[in-house]
Amino acid sequence: MGQFQVSLFLLLILAFIYGVSSTTFTIVNQCGYTVWPGLLSGAGTAPLPTTGFSLNPSETRVIPIPSAWSGRIWGRTLCTQDATTGKFTCVTGDCGSSAVECSGSGAAPPATLAEFTLNGANGLDFYDVSLVDGYNIPMTIVPQGGGDSNGVAGNCTITGCVAELNGPCPAQLKVAATGSEGVACKSACEAFGEPRYCCSGEFGTPDTCKPSEYSEFFKNACPKAYSYAYDDGTSTFTCAGADYVITFCPSPNPSVKSATKGLQTESVSYSAATLNVLPTLSVVFSMVGVLAVAFWAV
């Protein structure tokens, strides 16, 4: 291999490594039970390498995210697979695919949603945790690194809902499993279907659709989460060049307590052992091997 070929080979490797994905999502389950994350790409957005999987307690999975991706991530709970038919269903957050992979289907409300638009206006990522479709599980988004973009200030702030709301959920909104145990909390729009709660019809503008006593329940418990359709002023955050950690049931242990208490702006530090980057690295090394074979053959 000549010097020119070696240089070109190294440039291609670097281009691949830095161009594979502008972002990674690290999805962490700190619940005392298994969660099945669901992932849905927005219309016209590149699909992710997975649309659903199981995540055991204390388990972590790293997902490489395409540039300019938009979509949603949520947690499905109380899932089972029928031994006879193989049909997979979940009591909360079910996507209706009858399988672990959601394959382009979204969450059935009520479900806590992590929403992203990456590389949007001014090169900023926009993200939020939404309770507009109700609530089923505590969740936070923590940006790792990142900052401003093209002179536009980012707001790289942790957001989410760390409160457990299924128990104190108002009776009119509560979804109960066997007995009286609450497993999810509906939005008022889903529970009542009235325009004043859904911000539709004559209530379809920010001036006419105001917070209700039900959206205030969500907002008081989770001040930085979306509580109803026009709650974007205090619930949408921006950042550029960041990776994101999405955590179900954020832990009260000291390593994350300072970040989750009151949802302040401190970022969370995770050890290399916790952030399992093997899925991403395996792709990189596989492509390096392919490139090496191709160039040695020249």
pLDDT band at 252 (very low <50, low <70, confident <90, very high): low
Range of the domain at 62: 24-275
| pLDDT tens-digit series, residues 139-174 | 999 999 878 776 677 789 999 999 999 999 999 999
Bigger pLDDT: 221 or 147?
Answer: 221
Q: Residue 255 maps to which CATH number?
A: 2.60.110.10
Report if residue 19 sits inside a domain: no
Report if residue 265 sits inside a domain: yes
Q: Which residues pair with 76 in a beta bridge?
A: 36
| pLDDT tens-digit series, residues 4-20 | 443 434 333 333 433 44
Structural contact between residues 263 and 160, judged by C-beta atoms closer than 8 angstroms: yes
pLDDT band at 281 (very low <50, low <70, confident <90, very high): very low
* Statement: residue 219 has pLDDT above 90: yes
Report if residue 49 sits inside a domain: yes
Cα 21 to Cα 12: distance, rounded to the nearest angstrom: 15
pLDDT band at 74 (very low <50, low <70, confident <90, very high): very high
Entry pTM: 0.78
* Statement: residue 207 has pLDDT above 80: yes
Report if residue 289 sits inside a domain: no
Total of domains in the chain:
1
Report if residue 290 sits inside a domain: no
Report if residue 52 sits inside a domain: yes
Chain mean pLDDT for the chain: 81
Predicted local distance difference test score (pLDDT) of residue 76: 98
Report if residue 288 sits inside a domain: no
Cα 31 to Cα 21: distance, rounded to the nearest angstrom: 28
Helix%, strand%, coil% for the chain, nearest 5: 25, 25, 50
Q: Which of 55, 144, 155 is nearest to 100 (CA)?
A: 55
Which residue type occupies 152? V
Report if residue 7 sits inside a domain: no
